[in-house]
Amino acid sequence: MYIVNSKEMKNIDELTISKGLQESILMEQAAFSVKEIVEDLNPKKILVMAGTGNNGGDGLAVARLLKNDGYDVQVYIIGNEENASYGFVNQKDICKEYQVDFIDEIKDLNNFDVLVDGIIGVGLAGEIKGELLDIIDHVNSCNCKVVSIDIPTGISSDTGKIMKKAIKADITVTFGYLKIGHLLYPGRSYSGEIKLSQMSFYKGYEKNLKRFLLTEEKIRDILPKRPKDSHKYNFGSIAVIAGSKEYSGAPILSALGAQLSGAGMVYLITPSYTPILEHEPSVIYTDFNKNYFEKNDLIKIKGKIEKSDVILIGPGIGQNSNDFIKEILEKYSHKKIVIDADAIGVIKKVKTNKNMLITPHAGEFQKLLKKEIESIEDIENYSLEKNINVLYKSTTSLITDGDNSYFNVFGNDALSKGGTGDLVSGVIASYIAQGCTVIDSTLIATYLVYKTGYDLGIENTNFTVTPLQIAKNLNRELIKLRGD
């Protein structure tokens, strides 16, 4: 499923209209789908709040359709009509013919049971200003159900950010394509339940789109098949190079993630002792009885690294093993490498390539960028400039190779715990070892871990789900995907 920004949506609108489909037809389609959703709420009294752009035009058309079906509906217009769009003016003229009731002031919004937010859609420019600031507060403090047209007023469709103030919707009805702002927080929570309506948009533009929603269907397509007649070497081997005196648990979660999701062979190499074999005896384990890795440790593990199809480096490794990490990234840059946690900072010092994946969360990524992340384009551009794959971990995670990006929205607060990232990186390495591309492996791994965490949170509570529990239950999602 494609995801668009406001510019792409505008291009799609314009291209569709250039093919001969009139704007008023698109508006009628949009309004009809909103009207049906409002009707499902069984309202007695409805207020449509309309801005003076085409989002307002949609709102006016919704009001007219509801009035025509006998509903008690009123319209309140917000903004300067001198600069109104043609779509708005046209719909207002039709509303008058249909005797739609316009009001000049709103006293108590609690007199209405449904509010339709047709104030601003994808045409939002800059921060909300003027009378709208108070109106938004008023809407957010009332008890009515709020249905936003296209995107809640005040949410940026490009970033999901609140542009000073935004309406909190119960339902958002959007048209043709999801917008980035529906998926990224806080836009994701302000949108409430999102309903996507199909429209007659010209599909020829889709070849230009490069952002996608990660779906179960996609995972079914890319999940590797396991041949019955196979041996361990069919499923690849992984060198997990992880841990330090301070963090002896992280390597366990990474190794378990790798082993419990199908890899053929997992070598775990840590500086100090970690009790992995008590958890999973099939892991091949080495430690050096020291606190951190040193550059010359590489000689001792060369054989295992060279036998491995994938290297996972970084979970729990701390900041005292950087020379050793740099040596590995330089020497084995021809191998697939998952670079996690404290190893991520080391990529600033090495030449990177598309065999590599980094897995930063916001704090780690900001350190690489040396500035705050403004939009997902910052992440995509970094990936392009550094020629490296990126998994940006957040409640909505982004997976990108710079050219194509996927949004994973299966995450929630059940995953917001130390150790989840270690598990994810292990599962990613596992699917690379099993023959998937770096990006596909990241899609599969984040899907499996996030979805398992989500399901365990529902069965138990989001407070109590742990990464170890998720690791031990990865099989459940795999069983569902296998279809039995």
Q: Does 38 bind ligand NAX (CB under 6 A)?
A: no
State the binding partner of 153 from K ion, ligand NAX, none, CB within 5 to 8 A by kind: K ion
Q: Does 120 bind ligand NAX (CB under 6 A)?
A: yes
Binding ligand NAX by CB under 6 A: which of 79, 264, 411, 467? 79
Beta-sheet pairing, 405-408 with 397-400: antiparallel
Lookup: tokens for 402: 């710079």
- Residues 267, 270, 275, 276: what is their CA dihedral angle, to the nearest 10 degrees? -20
CB closer to ligand NAX out of 120 and 390: 120
Min dist CB 394 to K ion, Å, is 25
Interface stretch with ligand NAX, choices 26-34, 342-350, 398-406, 456-464 (CB under 6 A): 26-34
Q: Does 121 bind ligand NAX (CB under 6 A)?
A: yes
State the binding partner of 26 from K ion, ligand NAX, none, CB within 5 to 8 A by kind: ligand NAX
Q: CA–CA separation, 283 vs 263, rounded Å?
A: 11
Binding K ion by CB under 5 A: which of 8, 13, 58, 117? 117
> Under rule CB under 6 A, which residues in 135-174 are in contact with ligand NAX?
149-150
HEC letters along 299-314: HHHHHHHHHCCEEEEC
Cα–chain center distance at 186: 12
Spatial CB neighbours of 392, under 8 Å, sequence gap ≥ 6: 360, 361, 362, 365, 376, 379, 398, 399, 400
Helices in 373-437 by DSSP H: which ranges? 376-386, 420-433
How far is residue 159 from each of residues 167, 184, 369, measured CA to CA in Å? 16, 7, 18
Has 484 been labeled as part of a binding site? Answer: no
CB closer to ligand NAX out of 10 and 307: 10
Q: CA–CA separation, 45 vs 42, rounded Å?
A: 9
How far is residue 459 from each of residues 291, 456, 463, 470, measured CA to CA in Å? 39, 5, 12, 12
Interface stretch with K ion, choices 36-44, 116-124, 181-189, 379-387 (CB under 5 A): 116-124
Binding ligand NAX by CB under 6 A: which of 27, 49, 223, 379? 27
CB closer to K ion out of 56 and 271: 56
Phi and psi (nearest 5°) for 99? 55, 40
Are 63 and 93 within 8 A, CB to CB?
no
Interface stretch with ligand NAX, choices 35-43, 51-59, 202-210, 443-451 (CB under 6 A): 51-59
Has 415 been labeled as part of a binding site? Answer: no
Has 355 been labeled as part of a binding site? Answer: no
Map tokens 């871990």 to a residue: 449
Q: Does 380 bind K ion (CB under 5 A)?
A: no
Q: CA–CA separation, 254 vs 241, rounded Å?
A: 10
CB closer to K ion out of 33 and 355: 33
Annotated binding site for AMP: 393-397, 421
Annotated binding site: 54-58, 117, 121-127, 150, 153, 250, 316, 361, 393-397, 421-422
Site of interaction with K ion (CB under 5 A) = 117, 121, 148-149, 153
Site of interaction with ligand NAX (CB under 6 A) = 13, 23, 26-27, 30, 51-56, 58, 79, 85, 120-129, 132, 149-150, 175
